[in-house]
Amino acid sequence: MSYSIAIDGPAGAGKSTIAKNIAKKLKFIYVDTGAMYRAMGLYFLQNNIKIEETDKINQACSNVNISIEYVEGEQQVLLNGENVNGLIRTEEVGKMASSCATQKQVRLKLVELQRELAKKTDVIMDGRDIGTYVLPEANLKVYLTASSKERAGRRWKELTDKGIKCDINDIEKDIIARDEQDMNREFAPLKQAEDAILVDSSHLTIDEVIDRIIELYQHKS
Ligand code: C5P
């Protein structure tokens, strides 16, 4: 039986940085499910499909191929065979990902791929519905969060370090809007699973969060 760790939480809580690190330490595969929603969002943007166009969305769900491969331990998302890792990290794609994640048919398509990956090997998977819906039997579930102010501050620093001009209040507004959309959608919304352990990273360093989760893992296994 493979072992699975589910990390859920709102945007910008540090899930992917932390999950990636833990995967290296434990020799697990890191599965970034947000990247899959981003790839679908990219497809909708590239093809000018609006979220109200149910027929086109249904068609896309049957025709579009999303797959995952690993190159030197790094997850690569392929959209119809093309590696789109370099195209999915923009705010525009993030917003579209969040909109298309409200669509049940999109979720069902991606959840199938996510469950398939977790069947084969030990995984640490991050997202919004991993502990509640994708892997309800996960061996360890963590709900990782931080205040919206803290998350906006981290994002602001990341962008400013890259030389990108931005306003911290706008970033916080966007983060809150994304959380609301994720928490209030009908199908598989973002919420803490009953058996998930809450980790608030507002006043913790990345290393402290990693150590805390590894401790939880050692305790459980
Ligand atoms: O985590 P990331 O910001 O890359 O995810 C992009 C969007 O995809 C999220 O805002 C969320 O709406 C959606 N998502 C989701 N369920 C997941 C992972 C991501 O709904 N398991």
Contact 38 CB / ligand 1 (< 6 Å): yes
- The sheet with strand 66-71 has its strands ordered as 66-71, 74-79, 82-83
**Ligand 1: residue whose CA is nearest its atom 6:** 34
Q: Looking at residue 107, what is its pLDDT? A: 97
145 alpha carbon – ligand 1 mean position (Å): 14
Q: Whose CA is nearest to atom 2 of ligand 1?
A: 34
DSSP letter assigned to residue 130 = I
Assess whether pLDDT exceeds 90 at residue 129. Answer: yes
Burial class (CB in 10 A: 0-12, 13-18, 19+), 102: middle
- pLDDT number for residue 1: 79
Angle between the 54-63 and 104-120 helix axes, to the nearest 10 degrees? 20
Residue 83: closest CA among 66, 98, 96: 66
Q: 182 CA to middle of ligand 1, Å?
A: 8
Average confidence (pLDDT) over 148-162: 94
CA angle 47, 51, 53 (to 5 degrees): 80
The answer on pLDDT for 49 being more than 80 is yes
Task: Classify domain 33-120 by CATH number.
Answer: 3.40.50.300
| Closest CA to ligand 1's atom 21 | 127
- The whole-number pLDDT of residue 100 equals 93
Ligand 1 pocket mutation, candidates 8, 106, 124, 128, criterion most atoms within 8 A of CB: 128
Q: Is any ligand 1 atom within 6 A of the Cβ of residue 133?
A: no
Question: What are the sequence ranges of the domains in the chain?
Answer: 1-28+122-221, 33-120
Query: What digits encode the pLDDT tens for the residues 11-41?
Result: 999 999 999 999 999 999 999 999 999 999 9
User: Is 220's pLDDT higher than 90?
Assistant: no
Does ligand 1 lie within 6 Å of residue 129's CB atom?
yes
Contact by Cβ (8 Å): 111, 135: no
Tell me what the pLDDT averaged over the chain comes to.
Answer: 96
Answer whether 37 contacts ligand 1 (Cβ < 6 A): yes
> Comparing 1-28+122-221 with 33-120, is the CATH topology the same?
yes
Is the predicted pLDDT of residue 221 greater than 90, yes or no? no
Our answer on whether the CB atom of 101 is closer than 6 Å to any ligand 1 atom is: yes
The per-residue pLDDT for range 101-127, each reduced to its tens digit, is 999 999 999 999 999 999 989 999 999
pLDDT tens digits, 60-104? 999 999 999 999 989 999 999 999 999 999 989 999 999 999 999
Give the pLDDT confidence score for residue 92 in this predicted structure: 93
Q: What mean pLDDT comes out for the span 158-169?
A: 93
**Architecture in CATH of 1-28+122-221:** 3-Layer(aba) Sandwich (3.40)
Distance 109 CA to ligand 1 centre (A): 14
CB 16 within 8 A of CB 127: no
Type of residue at 217: Y
**pTM: predicted TM-score of the whole model, two decimal places:** 0.95
Q: Report pLDDT digits (tens) over 173-196.
A: 999 999 999 999 999 999 999 999
H helix count then E strand count, the chain: 8, 8
